[in-house]
Amino acid sequence: MEDAKKALGEILRHLQRIPEELDEHQVESFLNALVEAQRVFVLGAGRSGLVARAFAMRLMHLGFHVYVVGETITPAVKPNDVVIAVSGSGETDLVVGAASIAKKVGAKIVAITSFPNSRLGKMADVVVILPGRERTETITEYVERELAGEHASLAPLGTLFEASASVFLDAIIASLMRKLNKKEKDLKELHANIE
C-alpha cells in the first residue's frame, strides 16, 4: 500500500505541473485545428493509443466526424482532415509512419508529445508539448542510483506522459464544449445506448 501511495503522489505532483508548463499558443493552435477540421483522425500505439481512443470517443460525443486510425471502418485521410498523433517519445515507428502518410496526403498533423524535436514533432503542423519522462534510464544509471540509496520513479515507462495526455485531452474537451456552446446533455445524446 505504501508504494501505491508514493506512486500516486508522484503522478499527482506531475499532473499539477501541466497547467504551468503548457504553451498557450500551442493549445490554441490545437483547438483551432480541431474546430476547422472537416474530419479528425486519432492515432497512437499501446497505452498512448488507448488515450487517443478515449479522446476520439469524447470528440464523437461533441459531434465531430472522428476516426481511430487502424480500425476497419476508418476511411482514407484527405487534405482537409486533421490527424492527432499521440506519442510520448515522438519516435514510435507505427505512429510516425502513419502520420507521414497523412502528411503526404495533405492532412494537418497535430503531435501530442514530450519531445518536439522527435521525428513526429518535426513533421507536425501543430505540436503540443506535454511533460512526461525526460529520458529513459540506462542499466548503469540504475545500478549507480541503487548503490547510492536513491530510487527510480514509481511511474514506469510512459505512465507520466499517458496520464498527462489523458488529463490534457479531457481539458481540451471541456474547452471545446465552451467554444461550441455544448452542454453535458448534448454529449449524452450521442453517447452509446446499446452497450
CA distance 144 to 66: 47
Distance from first CA to last CA of the chain, Å, rounded? 34
The residue from 162, 184, 189, 195 that is catalytic is 162
Q: Which three cell numbers stand for residue 44?
A: 497512437
The answer for residues whose C-beta is within 8 angstroms of residue 100's C-beta and 6 or more apart is: 123
| Spatial CA neighbour of 75 closest among 57, 94, 102, 111 | 102
Tell me the sheet residues that pair with 110.
84, 126
3-state helix, strand, coil in the chain (%, to 5): 55, 10, 35
- Scanning the structure block, which residue is given the C-alpha cell 465531430? 64
Active site residue 71: no
What positions carry a catalytic annotation? 162
